[in-house]
Amino acid sequence: MIGKTVSHYEILEKLGGGGMGVVFKARDLKLDRLVALKFLPPHLVSVEAESDRLQRERFVLEAKASSALDHPNIGVLYEIGETEEGETFIAMAYYEGETLRQKLAGGALPLDDAVSIAEQIAMGLAKAHEGGIVHRDIKPANIIVTRDGVVKIIDFGLAKLQEATRMTRRGAVMGTPAYMSPEQARGDDVDARTDLWSLGVVLYEMLGRMKWDGRSITSRRAMKSTGACSRTTD
């Protein structure tokens, strides 16, 4: 993909990727600005299976959910498009800075920095929740801290629009185990409170403490069955 032009975007370099998409740094040739382009990964391009179709629809919902939000602490989405080969992508603002995960690679943050970041995440989530959007995957990798210290919540790929609950089957577990609320780990219906749980875990991590290692969904459910999850708030 490097060096190719998709729509009016010239792809410059790969930024990263995960289960819900691959992200590239690109230049908007019309407006001469840097953007981040997120594509569905190759194994999700096919829509032959029902699960593939749901993944693609969830990706489109990410674009719609993000574009409806206007807040300083939420990443800006510019457009949703499709390549000539039929791959769907979204164009998002590119921010100079680093993810919170990268910042934490050097260890715990000073208390004032951790509180400032947590406060900004909370304000961004409040705006999303007002719009009926639950992020469902708040974690350091989905938080960008710009060079000016401004927090941007990104990747609403697992967001659940309350108006589109048909997209999330009861019992389906989506998210990152270490940051999940017990209800989300069980596959129960969740609301805005699951994001607040995840934010609490992120705050603990910023202060140098992780309450559990999140090795698997199974271990999380086992902890819940024994009451261990409730004790993590002590």
Longest CA–CA span in the chain (Å) reads 57
> Among the options 28, 52, 137, 155, which is catalytic?
137
15 and 77 both lie in a single domain: yes
The CA-based angle 230-116-132, given to 5 degrees, is 60
* Boundary-marking domain end, from 40, 75, 93: 93
Return the pLDDT at 231: 34
Does 116 share its domain with 195?
Answer: yes
- The tens digit of pLDDT for each residue in 20-38 reads 678 999 999 999 999 999 8
Residues 76 and 139 in one domain: no
* Most confidently modeled range among 9-23, 39-53, 135-149: 135-149
Q: Are residues 28 and 83 in the same domain?
A: yes
**Cα–Cα dist 70/15, whole Å:** 24
Instruction: Note the pLDDT of residue 228.
Output: 40
Give the structural domain span for 153.
97-231
Same domain for 214 and 102: yes
Examine the domain organization and report whether 106 and 219 are in the same domain: yes
Tell me, what CATH number does 34's domain have? Answer: 3.30.200.20
The yes-or-no verdict on residue 147 having pLDDT over 80 is: yes
Contacts 24+ apart (CB under 8 A), 171-174: 173/217, 174/136, 174/137
Do 62 and 147 share a domain, yes or no? no
Q: Note the pLDDT of residue 164.
A: 42
Last residue of a domain, one of 93, 124, 154: 93
Q: Domain check: are 145 and 191 in the same one?
A: yes
Based on the fold, state whether residues 116 and 211 are members of the same structural domain. Answer: yes
Question: Where is pLDDT greater, at 48 or 82?
Answer: 82
DSSP for 1-54, written as a single string: -TT-EETTEEEEEEEEEETTEEEEEEEETTTTEEEEEEE--GGGT--SSHHHHH
Whether the per-residue pLDDT at 205 is higher than 90: the answer is yes
Could you tell me if 112 and 89 lie in one domain? no
Question: What does the block give as tokens for 105?
Answer: 């690679």
pLDDT digits over 158-167, tens only?
555 443 444 4
Residues 200-217 have a mean pLDDT of 75
Element (H, E) at 119: helix 111-130
70 is catalytic: no
More confident residue, 107 or 167: 107
User: How many domains is the chain built from?
Assistant: 2
Given a cut of 70, is residue 185 above it in pLDDT? Answer: yes
Q: Are residues 176 and 162 part of one domain?
A: yes
The verdict on pTM exceeding 0.85 is: no
Of 93, 125, 151, the domain-final residue: 93
Query: Is the domain of 104 the same as that of 214?
Result: yes
Number of H helices, E strands in the chain: 7, 11
